[in-house]
Structure 1
Amino acid sequence: MRYFEDLTVGETEAFGSYAVTREEVIDFATRYDPQPFHLDDAAAAATHFGRLAASGWHTCSMTMAMLVAQMQANPQASLGAAGIDELRWLRPVFPGDTLRCETELLEKTPSRSRPDMGSTRSKMTVFNQDDQPVLTFVARALVGRRPV
């Protein structure tokens, strides 16, 4: 178990592999982002995407799936998230892409009011199979401190 005290500002971590499927792109879009370029080949071809593209929100969800798998494989005293800043969709994600993640710990701050926790800010970058960044954001998380 990694606690707040075990984290070092500047540390980086690479993890994950997520194969994007056509079926999942359409299913997600049907349920949560039913814009034509996420649902229909002809409509997508008429846009700047040129072909069916995943919703940016779907890309965020795929990123979360990789992040949770990483946290399960390498337990941390996570107490949840406090939000996301600076979310950017840099490139479209297409069926057939394979995504991966890299994080960098930007800062950590002990809580003044809750001595059992601290907060962190980490930059997440998601890359496709061509090592092109497709998504970035800064995550704010709460992490437990080592029990006394």
Structure 2
Amino acid sequence: MDEIIYFEDVTVGDTLTFGPLAISRDEIIAFAAEFDAQPFHLSDEAAAETHFGSLSASGWHTTALFMKMFVAKMQAGGHQDASLGAMGVDELRWLRPVRPGDTLSGTSEVIEKKASRTRPEMGIVKSRVTIMNQHDQPVMTMMPIALFRTRPA
């Protein structure tokens, strides 16, 4: 494993790329059945009666797939050991449907960082994330606000 990347090692402008990850029809339906059981996430017939036209993944599923890809990249690159979770997400947008057979990938760019005023053991890192399909079309954007451990004294 690479050296641990602490808050002090993160620089505005740093980028990570992650993925690819393919999504299947069965995965879309299974996620929807458990977490977002709207008809257009469960069948082509129901989706045909909406603006989607055919089965599409829940936006929450797309967000979960981002986490799967991102955490795998973080673990492989030494970033996960200093990760302390997140404070939230700004400006989450689902830009186009994710369909069965799509392959997703993404980029994350650090756009802001600041030391915590009240917790010296951590810092705050805000990033701009874009998730793309196999046609290089953006399907989701968001700005996660993550917490990173500072370097031990």
Runs of 4+ displaced beyond 2 Å: none
Identity, in percent, stands at: 58
Unmatched runs of 5 consecutive residues or more in structure 2: none
CA distance in 2, matches of 1:38, 1:80: 29
State the Cα deviation string for residues 71-100 of structure 1 (Å, max 9, x = none): 111122111111111110000000000000
- Partner secondary structure for residue 29 of structure 1: helix
Kindly state the Cα deviation for residue 138 of structure 1 after the two structures are TM-superposed: 0.5
Q: What do you get for the CA RMSD once the two structures are aligned? A: 0.8
> Which sits farther off after the overlay, 40-49 or 26-35?
40-49
1:42 and 2:45 correspond? yes
- Partner secondary structure for residue 12 of structure 2: coil
2:105 to 97, 100, 107: 100
Corresponding letter in the other structure for 1:27:
A
CA distance in 2, matches of 1:120, 1:49: 35
CA distance in 2, matches of 1:72, 1:139: 17
Unmatched runs of 5 consecutive residues or more in structure 1: none
- Partner secondary structure for residue 28 of structure 1: helix
CA distance in 2, matches of 1:122, 1:26: 30
State the Cα deviation string for residues 93-148 of structure 1 (Å, max 9, x = none): 00000000100101000112222111011011100000000001110011011111
Kindly state the Cα deviation for residue 8 of structure 1 after the two structures are TM-superposed: 0.7
Report the counterpart of residue 91 of structure 2 in structure 1: 86
State the Cα deviation string for residues 38-66 of structure 1 (Å, max 9, x = none): 11111112221111000001101111111
1:3 and 2:2 correspond? no
> Which sits farther off after the overlay, 43-52 or 54-63?
43-52
Report the counterpart of residue 117 of structure 1 in structure 2: 122
Kindly state the Cα deviation for residue 24 of structure 1 after the two structures are TM-superposed: 0.4
CA distance in 2, matches of 1:55, 1:113: 37
CA distance in 1, matches of 2:37, 2:116: 41
- The number of residue pairs the alignment matches comes to 148
- Partner secondary structure for residue 50 of structure 1: coil
- Please, what TM-score do these two structures have when normalized by structure 2? 0.94
1:65 to 65, 68, 76: 68
1:27 and 2:30 correspond? yes
